[in-house]
Chains A and B, each alone.
Chain A
């Protein structure tokens, strides 16, 4: 059976999309992700595409194993849903960027060697920024520049680490756990930026809310999840990651509680959910790594659903702050239901997909006898339920009706939301659909009486506190400073001052050089002035510049002729 690279299919579709008319482009937007999904599903474990490169190095453009196929499948599924969500648009550039971004993300997860990985990684960074810039607002342009600068830094760190790996003769991607050295730290730092490790995370809530409505659906799924994939493959069992992940999980939910902008709130939640996955990588057991992979898979589904719902609200109302929203469930019932299911899924409510992946991580911590880790993960879950399912859902769709006029959202947006909702329910109801695709064989049953009851108790306790204290959670118009403050305020001021100082310095140098030249030039025009006076009597007060012109010209001409003849002779 012929096998295709799903990433190449999407990249080809992305290159084709801007060249054709709207109708044909819509077909490309649906057919190519479908083909990519079929290609991902038809790839068998162990498939490897190798090509000879410089010095007989073998490039492994495609290496299919359980882990890479899991990510390739969910990336293809998401591309299909997100493209359906964006079908009403007539933006060639955005379609191209989105599909190149999706294709290169699949390229990263299927890469079997470092060079292939870094090439797709850089394409991913460059393609994704156009999803932010395409909004064309001044804030989006600024945020896009900050985003691309951070991602070029991450790519450079990764490239430096990879260079050290390759120069050491290691082209194939292998686990780096415990290897240490410069390469190890550079790659971990590069991945840490894309995985939004605290304090390297500020690019995420800074850039994602500024992207286009459809762009943010793509953005929330690929960059961070490819980084998590790389962490699972490269750093399993790195204990440092447990602490890093816990910090991310709690930091994300605390900022989400404070946030007023709906997409920024969801962006902080990406950080929190990534924290869960990073903890799973740090735990390093089969259950922990399966938990990280399963949670990444499910997160792509419900997080994209939440961004689609938030996008639908922004499209319909024109508002993106909770202070401007409220009481929308009557006007947007389908969006409210889909968003509500996504919010419950991310909170780990039974019958939805979050319920089948989050407990893998808490159980992994419990099995490894790490009760503090387990407890803090529960705290992260409480924060997730509080800030998304309760706060965001309540103040956006319920709460005070602000009497906002709502425009109808396109049918394709609703279809995509319903599709993502059904997938959240399907994987929640039939966990084996996901479990048999996980990298390690495991025997885990999420639907035990004890687990269902304990989850419901946790959620009930959280709900009661929210209901009693909901007045204290009413959003207000403010922003929360984050680590991007360092490069948006003091660092930016330093650069501004530096540029000013350099300008002053160069200007000063120019003035000094001009003064020096003005002194020297008269002498160069009249070198005779420098010669000792051999003839008695006063030097002529006016120097005749034409006096030596002919003789100097003749000497120069002769020199050139001698040089040409010599060169010509040597050449013969």
Chain B
């Protein structure tokens, strides 16, 4: 379906890449990013 339209895939690549970057860097990164020693600061002491 998609490959049938010339040029669509180029824009799909552009928009898809932008979307993934935005998703990763804005909402998800804010939710999940922690300092590297996060688990060493008491977390892994229970491991």
Contact = CB atoms under 8 A, between A and B. Distances in A.
Given A146-B47, A371-B1, A378 B33 contact: no
Nearest to B35: A478
Interface of A: 142, 145-146, 253-255, 257-258, 366, 371, 374-375, 378-379, 382-383, 386, 450-451, 453-455, 457-466, 469, 472-473, 477-482, 488-489, 492-493, 495-496
Given A257-B20, A466-B17, A482 B46 contact: no
Contact of B10 (A254, A461, A473, A479): A461
A457 B20 contact: no
Of all A-B residue pairs in the complex, the 8 with the closest CB atoms, nearest first, are A461-B13, A454-B3, A492-B46, A457-B9, A465-B17, A257-B24, A382-B16, A461-B14
B4 A492 contact: no
Contact of A481 (B2, B20, B32, B36): B32
A466 B29 CA distance: 18
Interface in B5-25: 6-21, 23-25
A353 to B, nearest CB: 20
Contacts, number: 131
Contacts of B36: 477-479
A465 B24 CA distance: 15
Nearest to A375: B2
Contacts of B10: 457-458, 460-461
Contacts of A374: 1-2
Contacts of B1: 366, 371, 374
A542 to B, nearest CB: 56
A446 to B, nearest CB: 12
B29 A258 contact: yes
10 contacts: A146-B47, A374-B1, A458-B10, A461-B10, A461-B12, A478-B34, A479-B34, A481-B31, A488-B39, A492-B47
B contacts with A: majority SS: helix
Interface in B31-45: 31-36, 38-39, 43-44
Given A258-B28, A378-B12, A460-B13, A472 B33 contact: no
Contact of B28 (A254, A375, A478): A254
A478 B6 CA distance: 41
Contact of A386 (B7, B12, B17, B34): B17
A488 B18 CA distance: 33
Given A458-B12, A479-B38, A492-B43, 8 more contacts: A374-B1, A386-B21, A453-B9, A461-B11, A469-B21, A480-B29, A488-B46, A488-B47
A146 B44 CA distance: 11
Nearest to B6: A453
B9 A458 contact: yes
A171 to B, nearest CB: 40
Nearest to B4: A450
A128 B33 CA distance: 30
A145 B44 CA distance: 12
Given A465-B21, A488-B43, A482 B14 contact: no
B14 A454 contact: no
A462 B13 contact: yes
A464 B21 CA distance: 13
Nearest to A448: B3
Contacts of A479: 33-36, 38-39
Given A371-B1, A457-B13, A386 B20 contact: yes
Contacts of B43: 488-489, 492
A453 B47 CA distance: 51
A76 to B, nearest CB: 35
A448 B19 CA distance: 29
Given A478-B36, A488-B39, A383 B47 contact: no
A253 B28 CA distance: 12
Contacts of B46: 488, 492-493, 495-496
Contacts of A492: 43, 46-47
A379 B24 CA distance: 13
Contacts of A451: 3
A374 B3 CA distance: 11
Contacts of A489: 39, 43
Nearest to B23: A254
Contacts of A453: 3, 6, 9
Nearest to B33: A478
Nearest to A452: B3
A462 B15 CA distance: 8
A360 to B, nearest CB: 14
A382 B11 CA distance: 11
A279 to B, nearest CB: 16
Nearest to A493: B46
B16 A378 contact: yes
Nearest to A492: B46
Contacts of A253: 20
B3 A450 contact: yes
A463 B14 CA distance: 8
Contacts of A142: 44, 47
B17 A472 contact: no
Contact of B13 (A382, A478, A495): A382
Contact of B2 (A255, A378, A383): A378
A245 B9 CA distance: 22
Contacts of A145: 47
A488 B44 contact: yes
B26 to A, nearest CB: 11
